[in-house]
């Protein structure tokens, strides 16, 4: 009888599986990220990386990938470098890979999709793995804006300039497109400065709290002829609205709403993402950081290129039947300019708590070829900090394009509860800077100390301290999120957990939701 009841319940829950459940499923052929790291983002011309050219940046980040992945270099079959401004990037990427310790059997290429080049590199490697061209690859985004680069210094040929207005608008400066967005959609200077203030304050708070520490790798380089170690972003501290409001327009010939303070900071930096199939990661004992789900690209008028995420994000979410408000936990959108960031936030109705929680390019900077990969690294780190599951990253690009990718972060859960005679045990892996450790939740189990994690709620789970007890509601939701079965149809659920500090145990009892289908759909 109990077996029949369990079968019925499993069938009920299976049919009620949500789109989010679907993308969270684990399959051997999943494309997964096993390492995501970046250099500090450093100021243009005066910063710590201003004397570090592109080839050196790529070399440094690839050395760190090789060292930190504990992966045999010969297993890496391709490296794709996302870069915008350097015409020799393909050559630099290949030479840097060889110098970093990868063998000559490891291929290399370069991709340029403007501001999304780092994300395009990730997409390229993921696609190569998906179709069987390679098994393991590295996506790199890097840009040295401080050192000399090639750039378009002449108009297009007459055949392009005379074709149509959109073709001619591809010559517009990015600052001009920002003013176009502000003017066309009524984004005031005040709104832009207010957004910039939030970005700067969040980045400052995140750096003070050490939230960037697990995503940044220290870089040894040279500045003014001296060897230095660069280990933190060069963020403007003490930004105030008063200071922002006094700045002069940056593009007065086009408008008066975009300034140096509410536009992305010009910086140098690099980021890297290591990808392979889930089956290969398990075979090699590689930690699975996230699952790559997919990417969507879209085009808009070049003169208002910044609004691109408004088109690409819904396009991608509809492909997987996901809801931005219900299913996405963290959203990283490139803050090329506050004008486009404000418009995208308002148009897509993105909650402030989800959008660029550690600040964006206005505060951290925008090394154009790097940012697509940098947002993946930062977003996944924030998902770990919060204990949430799905990151969505998006950015606009010059000449009116946009790219978007969702990345679920992993929860590993298994089953020790006894619910009406049905054995259901639950354990989970909690992220620490040193790796993943298991915390078992069950009758009278002492949790012990878990550095950097204290459970506050399902959505927010961070701060240094001791895991004391996990509220029953969170236990249930974690189980559901991982396709585990708890009898929730008015079933009394009781459990006891010991306090790590020796204080009395905590016991919780409840009847939860009225039926299993509603339980599966329910989210805090």
Listed residue (142, 135, 139) closest to 72, CA to CA: 135
pLDDT surpasses 80 at 144: yes
Q: What is the mean pLDDT of residues 371-386?
A: 96
Listed residue (482, 301, 324) closest to 393, CA to CA: 324
The sign of the CA dihedral 209, 211, 217, 219 is: negative
Identify the pLDDT of residue 423.
32
H or E element that contains 141: strand 136-143
Listed residue (109, 386, 374, 426) closest to 265, CA to CA: 374
Percent of the chain scoring above 90 in pLDDT: 64
pLDDT surpasses 60 at 66: yes
Identify the pLDDT of residue 318.
95
Q: Classify strands 226-230 and 31-38 as parallel, antiparallel or unpaired.
A: unpaired
pLDDT surpasses 80 at 57: yes
Band of pLDDT at residue 464, cut at 50, 70 and 90: very low
Q: What is the mean pLDDT of residues 467-495?
A: 30
H or E element that contains 222: strand 219-223
pLDDT surpasses 70 at 449: no
Structure confidence by residue, pLDDT tens digits, 75-84:
999 999 999 9
Ordered DSSP codes for 65-112:
HHHHHT--GGG--EEEEE-SS-TTHHHHHHHHHHHTT--TTSEEEEE-
Structure confidence by residue, pLDDT tens digits, 1-49:
444 444 444 444 444 579 999 999 999 999 999 999 999 999 999 999 9
Identify the pLDDT of residue 399.
56
Identify the pLDDT of residue 199.
98
Band of pLDDT at residue 147, cut at 50, 70 and 90: confident
pLDDT surpasses 50 at 484: no
Identify the pLDDT of residue 424.
33
Could you tell me the domains of the chain?
21-152+200-408 (3.40.47.10), 411-521 (no CATH)
Identify the pLDDT of residue 106.
96
Structure confidence by residue, pLDDT tens digits, 300-327:
999 999 999 999 999 999 999 999 999 9
Listed residue (507, 321, 282, 313) closest to 392, CA to CA: 313
pLDDT surpasses 70 at 214: yes
User: Which residues are the active-site residues?
Assistant: 115, 366, 396
In sequence order, what E strands does 279-434 have?
290-292, 296-299, 330-333, 390-397, 401-408, 413-414, 417-419, 422-424, 426-432
Structure confidence by residue, pLDDT tens digits, 337-368:
999 999 999 999 999 999 999 999 999 999 99
Listed residue (11, 134, 158) closest to 77, CA to CA: 134
C-alpha 382/C-alpha 459 separation (Å) is 12
Task: Say if CB 284 and CB 71 are below 8 A apart.
Answer: yes
What does the mean pLDDT of the chain come to? 78
H or E element that contains 506: strand 506-511
Identify the pLDDT of residue 172.
86
Identify the pLDDT of residue 277.
98
As beta bridge partners, residue 297 has 403
Which residues, 6 or more positions from 437, have their beta carbon under 8 angstroms from its beta carbon? Answer: 429, 430, 450
Task: Say if CB 414 and CB 425 are below 8 A apart.
Answer: yes
Identify the pLDDT of residue 169.
80
Structure-derived torsion over alpha carbons of residues 60, 65, 71, 77, reported in degrees to the nearest 10: -80
User: What six digits make up the tokens of 226?
Assistant: 């001296």
Identify the pLDDT of residue 365.
97
Structure confidence by residue, pLDDT tens digits, 151-202:
445 566 676 677 788 878 877 889 999 999 999 999 999 999 999 999 999 9
pLDDT surpasses 60 at 426: no
User: What six digits make up the tokens of 472?
Assistant: 């029953």
Band of pLDDT at residue 503, cut at 50, 70 and 90: very low
The sign of the CA dihedral 379, 380, 383, 384 is: negative
pLDDT surpasses 60 at 466: no
- Measure CA 240 to chain center: 27
C-alpha 289/C-alpha 264 separation (Å) is 28
Identify the pLDDT of residue 116.
93
Identify the pLDDT of residue 419.
34
Identify the pLDDT of residue 246.
97
Q: What is the mean pLDDT of residues 242-269?
A: 96
| Helix-helix angle 89-99:54-69, to 10 degrees | 40
* Residues shown for the chain: 524
User: Which pTM does this prediction carry?
Assistant: 0.76
Band of pLDDT at residue 498, cut at 50, 70 and 90: very low
Of the ranges 140-144, 348-352, 493-497, which one carries the lowest mean pLDDT score?
A: 493-497
């Amino acid at each position: 009888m109990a077996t029949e009841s369990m079968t019925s319940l499993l069938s009920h829950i299976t049919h009620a599986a949500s789109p989010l459940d679907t993308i969270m499923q684990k399959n051997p052929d999943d494309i997964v990220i096993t390492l995501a790291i970046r250099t500090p983002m450093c100021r243009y011309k005066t910063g710590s990386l201003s004397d570090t050219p592109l080839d050196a940046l790529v070399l440094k980040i690839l050395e760190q990938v090789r060292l930190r992945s504990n992966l045999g270099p010969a297993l890496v079959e391709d490296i794709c470098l996302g870069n915008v401004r350097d015409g020799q990037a393909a050559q630099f990427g290949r030479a840097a890979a060889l110098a970093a310790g990868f063998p000559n059997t490891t291929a290399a290429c370069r991709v340029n999709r403007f501001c999304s080049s780092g994300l395009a590199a990730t997409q390229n490697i993921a696609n190569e793995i998906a179709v069987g061209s390679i098994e393991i690859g590295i996506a790199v985004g890097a840009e040295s804006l401080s050192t000399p680069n090639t750039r378009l210094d002449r108009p297009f040929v007459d055949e392009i300039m005379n074709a149509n207005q959109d073709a001619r608008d591809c010559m517009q400066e990015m600052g001009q497109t920002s003013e176009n967005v502000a003017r066309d959609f009524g984004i005031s200077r005040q709104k832009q400065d207010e957004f910039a203030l939030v970005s700067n304050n969040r980045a400052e708070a995140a750096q003070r709290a050490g939230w960037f520490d697990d995503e940044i790798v220290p870089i040894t380089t040279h500045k003014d002829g001296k060897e230095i170690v660069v280990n933190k972003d060069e963020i403007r501290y003490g930004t105030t609205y008063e200071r922002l409001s006094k700045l002069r327009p940056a593009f007065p010939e086009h408008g008066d709403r975009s300034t140096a303070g509410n536009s992305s900071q010009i910086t140098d930096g690099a980021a890297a993402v290591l990808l392979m199939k889930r089956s290969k990661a398990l075979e090699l004992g590689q930690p699975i950081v996230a699952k790559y789900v997919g990417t969507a690209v879209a085009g808009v008028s070049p003169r208002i290129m910044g609004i691109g995420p408004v088109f690409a994000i819904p396009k991608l979410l509809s492909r997987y039947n996901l809801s931005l408000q219900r299913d996405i936990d963290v959203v990283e959108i490139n803050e090329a300019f506050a004008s486009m960031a404000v418009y995208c936030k308002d148009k897509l109705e993105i909650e402030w708590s989800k959008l660029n929680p550690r600040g964006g390019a206005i505060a951290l900077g925008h090394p154009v070829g790097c940012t697509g990969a940098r947002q993946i690294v930062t977003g996944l780190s924030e998902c770990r900090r919060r204990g949430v599951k799905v990151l969505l990253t998006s950015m606009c690009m010059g000449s009116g394009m946009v790219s978007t990718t969702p990345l679920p972060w992993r929860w590993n859960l298994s089953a020790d509860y006894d619910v009406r005679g049905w054995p259901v045990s639950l354990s989970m892996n909690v992220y620490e800077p040193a790796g993943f450790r298991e915390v078992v939740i069950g009758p009278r189990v002492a949790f012990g100390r878990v550095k950097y994690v204290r459970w506050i709620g399902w959505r927010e789970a961070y701060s240094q301290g001791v895991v004391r007890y996990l509220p029953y509601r969170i236990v249930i939701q974690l189980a559901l999120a991982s396709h585990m079965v708890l009898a929730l149809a008015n079933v009394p659920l009781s459990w006891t957990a010991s306090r790590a500090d020796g204080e009395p145990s905590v016991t919780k009892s409840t009847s939860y939701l009225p039926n299993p289908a509603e339980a599966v759909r329910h989210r805090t």
